[in-house]
Amino acid sequence: MKISVCAPGKLMLLGEHAVVYGYPCIVTAVSSKIKVELENTLSSKIQIDAPQVKDVSFVEESIRIFKEKFKFKEDGLLIKTYSEFSSQYGFGSSSAVTVATLYGLSRLFNLNLTKKQIFDLGLKVTLNIQKVGSGFDIAAATFGKTLYFIRGGKKIEKLNIDELPLVVGYSGIKASTPKIVQQIKKRLKKEKKAIFKIFDSIGKIVEEGKKSLLEKNYQRLGKLMNENHTLLKKLGVSTKKLDQMCEASISAGAYGAKLSGAGGGDCMIALVPLSKKETVEKAIENVGGKILKVRNNVSGVGYEKNI
């Protein structure tokens, strides 16, 4: 038996870093996907063919946790992965491959786990490997669309919105999310009051952003994105290149712009009027950014033909 499933990557719209400490965030699933093919074989071992996946430990840990929980003894498995995006972009390739592997195993062994069960297992995999994380990227890969999310899945709310007019720019620098999260943790020990004041402000921006999204008030949402970026700069997670890309976007007519994700590199996003999209893209390229063509607000994990 052979099964092919896909899970999407993600972009953080509002709330990065604060989400690790129990504040809400808003994340959207993007059209760049990871495909996982799973097949029973006559072999007595598990084979993993994942050339595009930077860290196969997420696939290995997904299998280990699945076997442990559901007590399946069968070792004859061939798992192949195919990625539509490079792991360097910060779209959450490790989360997408984790969710796709777990979903595929669930279908291969006729367990038909719910998406909440897939999310819970995926979060366990992430925490076992990275030791840190809130689970928002696992939630985006599992449930898809655009989510209002609180750490550990305490709240996972799908927002009833359309695809957003976003431009996504890559800074050319690959960042390590766990490393940056640990840096904030260290700063927190020395500057607890100041850091939590920033987190409080980010939390308020997320709540306002949720209202603006639901009302399609993009001008207000853009201003909130700018405010969120300023606070992330205060946290010390932005870079000169990300700042330049955001500033260029706003000068070219974007409603607002901010880094997306842990920072230190990876991507930024700009919310734009459709009439300004090409102008904003050129402005980002002019300061050395690379435009990534992805749709947002897409479906979560599913059979390849259904995603």
Same domain, 230 and 105: no
172 and 240 housed in the same domain = yes
Is residue 153 domain-shared with residue 204, that is, in the same domain? no
Do both 141 and 213 map to the same domain? Answer: no
- Confidence (pLDDT) at 132: 80
Question: Do residue 244 and residue 263 come from a single domain?
Answer: yes
Alpha-carbon gap, residue 195 to 178, rounded angstroms: 18
Inter-residue contact 261 to 229 (CB < 8 Å): no
14 & 105 share domain: yes
Assess whether 266 carries a catalytic annotation. no
Whether residues 194 and 117 share a domain: the answer is: no
What is the pTM assigned to this prediction?
Answer: 0.94
> Residue 87: its pLDDT value, please?
62
- Indicate the DSSP class of residue 42: S
Counting the structural domains of the chain, the total is 2
Same domain? For 25 and 146 the reply is: yes
Domain that holds residue 29: 2-162+296-306
Per-residue pLDDT tens digits of the chain, which is 307 residues long: 889 999 999 999 999 999 999 999 999 999 999 999 999 888 778 888 887 666 789 999 999 999 999 987 767 889 999 887 666 566 778 899 999 999 999 999 899 899 999 999 999 999 999 888 899 999 999 999 999 999 999 999 999 999 999 999 999 988 888 889 889 999 999 999 999 999 999 999 999 999 999 999 999 999 999 999 999 999 999 999 999 999 999 999 999 999 999 999 899 999 999 999 999 999 999 999 999 999 999 999 998 754 3
Pair (92, 121) in one structural domain: yes
pLDDT of residue 300: 97
Collapsed DSSP state (helix, strand, coil) of residue 92: coil
Q: How many CA atoms lie within 13 A of 82 on its CB side?
A: 7
CATH of the domain at 50: 3.30.230.10
Residues 120 and 153: beta-carbon distance below 8 Å = yes
Based on the fold, state whether residues 48 and 172 are members of the same structural domain.
Answer: no
What pLDDT sits at residue 307? 38
Whether residue 302 is found in the same domain as residue 185: no
- Same structural domain for residues 105 and 230? no
For residues 111 and 107, what is the distance between their CA atoms, to the nearest angstrom? 6
Question: pLDDT (tens digit, 9 = 90+) per residue, 187-204?
Answer: 999 999 999 999 999 999
Cβ–Cβ < 8 Å for 262, 18: no
Q: What pLDDT, on the 0 to 100 scale, is given for residue 306? A: 44
CATH number at residue 271: 3.30.70.890
Catalytic residue among 55, 75, 120, 137: 137
